[in-house]
Amino acid sequence: MSDPNLLTGMEKAEDAGVYKLSDTLALVQTVDFFTPIVDDPFTFGQIAAVNSLSDVYAMGGKPLTAMNIVCFPSKIMDMSILRDILLGGLDKMREAKVTLVGGHSIDDKELKYGLSVTGLIHPDRVIYNTGAKAGDRLVLTKPLGTGIISTAIKAEMADEAVVVEAIRSMSCLNDRAAEVMMDFHVHACTDITGFGLLGHGCEMVQDTDVGMVLDHQAIPVFHGVKDLIDMGMVPGGTYRNRDYRIAMIEQAKGVPDYFMHILFDPQTSGGLLIAVQGDEAEKLLEKVHKAGVTEAAIVGEIVAEPAGKIVVR
């Protein structure tokens, strides 16, 4: 049984569910939680909250309320750790002007934290992850490599400067880039998270009549990531992402193999991938930069041929 007010739900790989309340108002709903990827509890709380809010921004919505989801090993961990995680989350909810309305916690062997988020959107202004048109150009708003860097943090192999840079990016809300994007003819958008740039890129072109071309030299990457790959700091998710999507990817000659690891690297709290009408891309990029999202870059374009594929050149 389908509900006509459900504009997008579980059947598509959308960032969030959208439910129409009236001709001018729809709910955007999403939930995300995960295990710590950094050592500091407050920072982890911030990153988890930013990551959870991101799916609402990716659809062009405004997050309104959130609920905490907590799994906490209270027998082996001090409650002050949980307090700091929640304070970190609250800090980002305040920044996003989101009201915490409740939550639920359970005792668990492994610590996990995240949010369920409800936002609002005009039902005619939802930006889906499909709908990109040939001639669109692609803007990516954050550098890649957080999965590789998190793996290095766990192995205690990460350079302090590299970690600081990745944390700054992961704890940065996608709100400003999303706000800018709403002033342009954006045909599709998604945020880059667990499936990596290529995995989420595939969702944009799969079963459509367009394809994607990515210019590998234009793609922003955190400093030090290549060195970490050379040291073997590639998370298992990178290989799973590659195995799942490799049939849709064409790697041009001259694109080094290590770079494919970066493109498949599962991201935490990654940036937005925005398909904007080609002649507006430079202007959008300029505005995004002005809004403080300084590492955003034009990384490729949407093409008619080959449809349903991504060419990395």
CB of 120 to Co ion, least distance (A): 18
When the beta carbons of 187 and 200 are compared against Co ion, the nearer one is: 200
- Does residue 15 bind Co ion (CB under 5 A)? yes
Task: Compute the radius of gyration of the chain from its Cα atoms.
Answer: 19
When the beta carbons of 211 and 266 are compared against Co ion, the nearer one is: 266
The interface region with Co ion, picked from 29-37, 161-169, 210-218, 280-288 by CB under 5 A, is: 29-37
Neighbour-count burial of 11, counting CB atoms closer than 10 A to its CB (0-12 exposed, 13-18 middle, 19+ buried) = exposed
Site residues (CB under 5 A) for Co ion, limited to 34-63:
55
CB of 266 to Co ion, least distance (A): 12
218-254 residues labelled b (16+ CB within 10 A) or e (exposed): ebbbbebbbebbeeebbbebbebbbeebeebbebeee
- Does residue 191 bind Co ion (CB under 5 A)? yes
Sheet bearing 310-312, strands edge to edge: 186-191, 272-276, 137-140, 297-303, 211-214, 310-312, 249-251
Write the interaction track for Co ion spanning residues 147-186; mark x where CB under 5 A is met and - where it is not: ----------------------------------------
CB of 222 to Co ion, least distance (A): 20
CB of 230 to Co ion, least distance (A): 30
d(CA 49, CA 52): 5
Please calculate the CA angle 94-98-100 and round it to the nearest 5 degrees: 90
How many other β-carbons are positioned within 10 Å of the β-carbon of residue 168?
Answer: 9
Q: Which residue has the tokens 């369920």?
A: 116
When the beta carbons of 43 and 116 are compared against Co ion, the nearer one is: 116
When the beta carbons of 129 and 238 are compared against Co ion, the nearer one is: 129
- Does residue 203 bind Co ion (CB under 5 A)? no
Total of chain residues touching Co ion, rule CB under 5 A: 4
When the beta carbons of 55 and 136 are compared against Co ion, the nearer one is: 55
CB of 62 to Co ion, least distance (A): 16
Q: Which residues pair with 121 in a beta bridge?
A: 26
How many other β-carbons are positioned within 10 Å of the β-carbon of residue 30?
Answer: 24
CB of 65 to Co ion, least distance (A): 17
CB of 302 to Co ion, least distance (A): 19
When the beta carbons of 59 and 158 are compared against Co ion, the nearer one is: 59
Neighbour-count burial of 95, counting CB atoms closer than 10 A to its CB (0-12 exposed, 13-18 middle, 19+ buried) = middle
Residue, CB closest to Co ion: 15
d(CA 272, CA 152): 24
When the beta carbons of 58 and 212 are compared against Co ion, the nearer one is: 58
* Contacting residues for 150 by C-beta, under 8 A, at least 6 apart: 37, 38, 166, 235, 268
When the beta carbons of 113 and 162 are compared against Co ion, the nearer one is: 113
CB of 28 to Co ion, least distance (A): 12
Tell me which residues touch Co ion (CB under 5 A): 15, 32, 55, 191
